[in-house]
Amino acid sequence: MKTLKFPFAIFLGLVLLFGNVFSQTPESLEDSEVVVELELSFVDPIWDGVNIPDGQRCNACGEHGSSPEIYVDNIPENADAILLYFSKGLPLNLNKKFGTGISTIGTSNGVIGYHISGNDRKILIPSVSGHTSELPQGFFQVKQPLQKIDGERGAYLPPCDCDERAWYFVHVKAISINSSEPNDFTELRSGNLTMGRTR
C-alpha cells in the first residue's frame, strides 16, 4: 500500500499562512476598516434630528425657514471649504445598505459652500435664509434647489412637505478646491446629519 508524501516545506508554509490569519484579533481587523468622518452637531437644540422645528419649513407651508447652524469638527488639513448638501431622503435605519445612510429621492434642497481657513479644525457654519440667492459673507452657491417656490429657487430650500411626512438630511463634505469650476474639488472627509421629519 502506497502512502502519500506531503513535502515538509509546503506543510510549513501552510502553517505560517493560516497561523498569521488566525492570529489577527477582531480589534486589529476593525481598525483596518475605520473610516474617519467629520464630527457634526446642530448648534440650536431645537434641531433634535427627530422633527423639523416649527417655523423652519418653506414659504409654501406658511413658514420662513432657514438652514440650521452647524458645528463641524475634525476637519482635515488642507481643507479650504465645507459643502452642505441639503436633501430629502430615507431615515438612516432604513437605508444602511447605501453606506452613507441617505437615499435622496430626486428632491435637492440646494448645495451651498462655506469658505474656511486651511488651519481651521473646528468651525461654526452660520444659518442661511431660505428662498434667497443673497448669501451671507463666506458662503457660495454650488447648486440651486430643484423646486421653485413663488418663482424663486434661491440657494437653500427649507423642508417643503406641508401635508405629508418626509425626512430631511444634510450631507457635509470638507473639500480642497482645485479650480473655479463648481465641481472641481477633492473630497477630504464627510459626514451626515439628520435634520428631522416634517409632521
CATH code, domain carrying 187: 3.90.280.10
Residue 9 domain-assigned? Answer: no
Cβ partners under 8 Å of residue 126, min gap 6: 69, 136, 138
Residue 12 domain-assigned? Answer: no
Residue 81 domain-assigned? Answer: yes
Which domain covers residue 79, as residue numbers? 38-197
First to last CA, the chain: 81
Between CA 151 and CA 131 the distance in angstroms is 10
Residue 14 domain-assigned? Answer: no
Residue type at 44 in one-letter notation: D
Residue 146 is predicted with a pLDDT of: 86
Residue 7 is predicted with a pLDDT of: 56
* Nine-digit cell string for 29: 481587523
CA angle 94, 169, 133 (to 5 degrees): 155
- In order along its 199 residues, the chain shows pLDDT tens digits of 444 454 545 544 544 444 443 444 444 334 445 678 999 999 999 999 999 999 999 999 999 999 999 999 999 999 999 999 999 886 555 555 444 445 554 448 999 999 999 889 999 999 999 999 999 999 999 999 988 877 678 999 999 999 888 999 999 999 999 998 878 999 999 999 999 999 8
Residue 7 domain-assigned? Answer: no
Global confidence as pTM: 0.77
Which is nearest to 153 in space by CA: 162, 167, 166, 141? 141
Residue 31 domain-assigned? Answer: no
Between CA 73 and CA 53 the distance in angstroms is 24
Residue 24 domain-assigned? Answer: no
| Strands lying side by side in the sheet with 167-177 | 139-143, 108-115, 81-89, 167-177, 185-197
Residue 171 domain-assigned? Answer: yes
Instruction: Please count the structural domains in the chain.
Output: 1
Cα-based torsion angle of the residue sequence 165, 170, 171, 176 in order, rounded to the nearest 10 degrees = 160
